[in-house]
Amino acid sequence: MTRIDTKFAQLKAAGKKAFVSYIMAGDPDMETSLAVMKALPGQGVDVIELGMPFTDPMADGPTIQLAGQRALEGGQTLQKTLDMVAEFRRGDDTTPIVMMGYYNPIYSRGVARFLTDAKAAGIDGLIIVDLPPEEDDELCIPARDAGINFIRLATPTTDDARLPKVLQNTSGFVYYVSITGITGAAAAQAAQVGPEVARIKAATDLPVVVGFGINTPETAREIAGVADGCVVGSAIVKEIAAGKTPTEVAAFAGALAAGAHSA
């Protein structure tokens, strides 16, 4: 049982949906992003997705791309991101942390070394958007063997023939991308998302959490109402980009979390 498994079991027992918040590590600098990260659980955030800044983020919209650029310009590295997690864990040993990003920085570090360091820092799961199931031997299976969940994305274009392949080595939860395209590009619609979530849940016992296109407490409630939870990224990152304080950013995330929890 990872912290992710434990958290979703607790939420299910309480009849609550999950709220997952995304921030970019090192945006706009390591100190600020760490302060935001530390403030999120107290506002009701159940799981933290921590972005790994990368120079070529192909799945990300302008908001997340700019966050990554700010982080890289501020000197953020993979090592500093692991250091952030380790520092967070000194005060919080229960909130699940999912590292999200691209394979290149992990490959450059070396998979075995990365997994050892990630586990030691306190990372519970990985979402690596550019590693398809056909490449599971690269990272997915080694991560699972190291006790780290490998969370797969399903999308509106993941048909019934493809879905079993996507699910075969997935653990923790399934991340359903509510729209086709990049992050922050359109609004999620519960009427469209609901049937897709039901289709995925018919094929797996894992929780299904929906991300992309959620930016208000009302949308968070609507989407969480047809899934096991929801993810908000771009809307929170915009607050950071606007220069809001860590307390203000966390309060904004808290309002979204309240929406999801009211579903």
Token pair, residue 20, equals 């997952």
Tens digit of each residue's pLDDT (9 = 90 or more) over 61-84: 899 999 999 999 999 999 999 999
Cα separation, 48 vs 20, in Å, equals 6
* Chain mean position to CA 87: 19
Domain enclosing residue 253, as ranges: 3-261
Token pair, residue 197, equals 């979530």
Q: Is the peptide bond before 142 cis (omega within 30 degrees of 0)?
A: no
Average pLDDT over the chain reads 95
Just list the catalytic residues. 49, 60
* pLDDT for the residue numbered 189: 85
- Stretch 102-107: mean pLDDT: 96
Number of domains in the chain: 1
Cα separation, 222 vs 217, in Å, equals 9
Tens digit of each residue's pLDDT (9 = 90 or more) over 130-181: 999 999 999 999 999 999 999 999 999 999 999 999 999 999 999 999 876 6
CATH number of the domain encompassing residue 57: 3.20.20.70
The model's pTM is 0.96
Cα separation, 17 vs 22, in Å, equals 17
b/e code 122-149 from CB counts within 10 Å (16+ = b): bbbbbbbbebeeeebebbbebbbebebb
Tens digit of each residue's pLDDT (9 = 90 or more) over 207-262: 999 999 899 999 999 999 999 999 999 999 999 999 999 999 999 999 999 999 99
